[in-house]
Amino acid sequence: MNTMTQEEKIQRLGKIFQDVLDLPGLRLTENFSTADCPEWDSVATVQIVLATEDAFGVRVSVENVATLHSVREILALLP
């Protein structure tokens, strides 16, 4: 986990975002945010965070999922 580069993390997150948002052609970037994607609502955020925990084998600490609005903020949850 600690040896993953930022690009590798974004690549892994990309598959999660494609599945959760049902956007198979999505090319994820660090700057991707809820403002770019009407499908990314609060329910999708929960699904993204839970799938991220599974994919990265971590349990993230998040006080309020409603405050997560970008890939950058989700990357910040990862060790």
Partner 1 sequence: MTWALHHIGYLTDDLEAEAARWCADFGYQRDGEIYTDPAQTAKVCFLRLQGADHWLELVTPDGPSSKLAHALRQQSTFHHLCYEVPNVAAALAALRERGWLPLGPPAAAIAFGGRPVAWIMDQRRVLIELVEAGEGPYQQRALRAPK
Contact residues: partner 1, CB under 8 A: 41-43, 46-47, 49-51, 53, 59, 62-66
Asked if residues 58 and 78 have their Cβ atoms less than 8 Å apart, the reply is: yes
Asked if residues 76 and 53 have their Cβ atoms less than 8 Å apart, the reply is: no
Give min distance, CB of 22 to partner 1, in A: 13
Asked if residues 65 and 43 have their Cβ atoms less than 8 Å apart, the reply is: no
Nearer to partner 1, 2 or 64 (CB): 64
Give min distance, CB of 21 to partner 1, in A: 14
Nearer to partner 1, 29 or 42 (CB): 42
Nearer to partner 1, 27 or 69 (CB): 69
* Closest by Cα among 66, 65, 41, 39 to 52: 65
